[in-house]
Structure 1
Amino acid sequence: MQRQKYSTYIMEIDHNQLLRFTTAGSVDDGKSTLIGRLLYDSKSIFEDQLASISATSAKKGHDGVDLALFTDGLKDEREQGITIDVAYRYFTTPKRKFIIADTPGHIQYTRNMVTGASTANAAIVLVDARHGVIEQTKRHAFIASLLQIPHLIVAVNKMDLVDFSEAVFNDIIAQFEEFSSKLLIQDIRYIPISALLGDNVVNSSKQTPWYHGGTLLHILETLHISSDINKVDARFPVQTVLRPQSEAHRDYRGYAGRIASGVLKVGDEVTALPSGFTSKIKSIDMYDQSLSEAFAPMSVSITLEDDIDISRGDMIVRTNNQPQASQDIEVMLCWLHNNPARPRAKYIVKHTSNDQKAMIKEVLHKIDINTLSRSEDDSALQMNDICKAKIRVTKPLLFDAYGQNRITGSLILVDEGTNETVAAGMIV
């Protein structure tokens, strides 16, 4: 097999890099219209889609195309003119690929925003220029901070309704910065836009000569996201063991999975957890080629120089850099299910490729996402509640703190009776 150099592979994946971003904001702030404008002006709409939306817009009596309909796919959404589910859209520019999660603005759909934001590199929080920073703005910024989304873009929308006033824009920046000083967000950017008219979305606006930044699409295309992935702590959760049993690979025993973080090289001394046995990496294979090294988030197969009993749910790490292991774990939980949490009920915890039984031991405090205050008296978990809790698993879990590693620091709880996901958790 041909051995490919790491630097060459870096250049290949950096080209047309994938950026996941989510939109958030209060109801009628223009989230769906903004995404529709992005898709429309970047020419990412198919002709049949455009014809269908144009016909629907005409039936509703609109003069032009209702851009929000490009994302409001559910019948209830189109009838009410609001977003109630997470709508995913995909588009590509010459510089980057994008996956958009259009999340609802209602309080009762907090869980949907958590779902849409859980894998995002960036979040666009829309602010109505007429209303400024409101409670819903703070709520969504807090959730973005809780999920530790690296980049936050505050898009001040409907600038056309305030005559593109620089003073209004600067006042909203001051309001948001006062609040965001309490949040853990690394990169915050501000941009004045009109999603309806297209100002500063894909094309620069002549209405804002006082704004010297790039358009929203330019910001999205140039965000530096390579450093968002943890490249220090090598973590390789094993998904399956490959035994081809073919003439060409009769003795091949590869451990396949997706690298969660870090870099692994041929010859590295590694430890298989939880057994603790050590070995060295013999080869790293991907498709029909061998690599001298691999890094997150590549999916590869790794072979070791020694025969070690490794199966799905185990983790291969560097010997001198290992994750934490514990049965008792503190997590920030967002309750996703319609039914409340049952006291000391058993659930299935899914963490990387590892599944095992778990129990919520204690709710330490709940967070009021309207005021950001903590409540230690109320331990009942209802849908959309966010809390800090202790869970206990049957076998030690191999994890890092969520702030250090979003992959090995996150988990979900599944009802073992119905197989429904009931909660998403971030390990403290």
Structure 2
Amino acid sequence: LQPQPTVQGALELIDTLATWLKKLTGMPEVAMSPKAGAHGELCGMLAIRAALEARGDARQVVLVPESAHGTNPATAAFCGYAVENIPANARGRVDVEALLARLGPDVAAVMITNPNTCGLFEPDMIQICAAVHAAGGFVYCDGANFNAIVGRVRPGDLGIDAMHINLHKTFSTPHGGGGPGSGPVVFSAALAPFAPLPFVRKTRDGFELVEEMQARVSTDHDHSFGRMVAFHGQMGMFVRALSYMMSHGADGLRQVAEDAVLNANYILSSLKDIYTAPFADTGPCMHEALFSDDFLNGTGLTTLDLAKALIDEGFHPMTMYFPLVVHGAMLVEPTETESKASLDQLIGAMRHVAERMLADPDDWHASPYLAPRRRLDETAAARKPVLSYKAA
């Protein structure tokens, strides 16, 4: 729709961002077009399916740890695979022995989240990836928690074959209101030939957007599974993400990860004496501090009541009831951008609410009291959403 010679700046920006993502992950190829995290998952799994089909391998099973993101099994099922869960161990990590015991000629891939949804780093990733590869499968890593390790750990060095990167999380592009998102996918050398179109290529005369399979010059890219979207991806998110990267620089991005992890551990250490912290004794968390509502046992109150009460304290509630491996989960993700002063405000509010609930459990089922909308029918909202305005 637009002559490519007139958009050289935009194409160069996409190529520059792609180069940053490849360097940060240690992966040789990237697809920029996926428009969100789950869309990126689908892209990665379609590439895995294409690679297996290219070698005539009809594997039908994808293994998904309990500590992985909830979209992972949905993505695998959407691609036609049977999904089998791998349990978490008592330390909140993947049960490696259970995973290794299940590997076999029918396993196409393992979809693993690292750091996982318990806010913990998976220390056995190199062993897991090597074992999956030895069994003939691929490893997909959910990169939604890349914020905790960017600049410090390159997923490619761990043996990952494909991973999406949520630009709207790790690289500060807007995440409010459900989007817009952007989920580029990086690929290992084994999957690079199957990456989707289009892609930007630097030429002697500038940059070009390659949109046809036959236009690929290198035979290394002859097996693309096709396209994910009609155009090149979320251009506005590309601009914001690259601006964020270049404003920090390589050293600054490493500091981003360190600050995100520091902030989460500050919250964890400040609240674990009153909130139940199921994995606090297993070492530092990553960029998310995980609590449960076990400390409220006997009061008749739950995570939902506490989250609603936080609204009256002026705070948007944390992620509730996720991950599923922890009962009544409360997942707090401060990121690198919060100051110590704002963290102290949150910690103070969470302590205040918890102490009052334990001292007097009555009347909390009706909170929040100060919000214009208090207790909505969330089940009806999920099952019968109204997504556009309708006049009364």
Structure with bigger helix share is 2
Structure with bigger strand share is 1
- By relative contact order (CA 8 Å, sep 6+), the higher-ranking structure is 2
TM-score relative to the length of structure 2 = 0.26
**Larger Rg computed on CA atoms:** 1
